[in-house]
Amino acid sequence: MEGTSELGQIPICLFYKAKEYPKPPKLYRRPIPWRDETKYLGVILDKRLTYKTHVAEVKNKVTAVNKKLYYVMGKNSKLSPRNILLLYKTLMRPIMSYASPVWGAAAKTHINKLETAQNKIARQITQVPWYVRNKQIQRELKLTPLLDYFSHQIF
Residue burial 89-115, b: 16+ Cβ < 10 Å; e: rest: eeebbeebbeebebbbebeeebbeebb
Question: Residues 26-48: pLDDT tens digits?
Answer: 888 888 888 888 898 999 998 88
Q: Is the pTM of this model over 0.85?
A: no
pLDDT of residue 3: 42
Q: What is the mean pLDDT of residues 75-86?
A: 92
pLDDT of residue 7: 56
How far apart CA 142 and CA 155 sit, in angstroms, is: 20
- Parse the chain into domains and list their residue ranges: 49-153
pLDDT surpasses 70 at 1: no
- E strand map for the chain: 26-27, 30-31, 37-40, 43-46
pLDDT of residue 104: 85
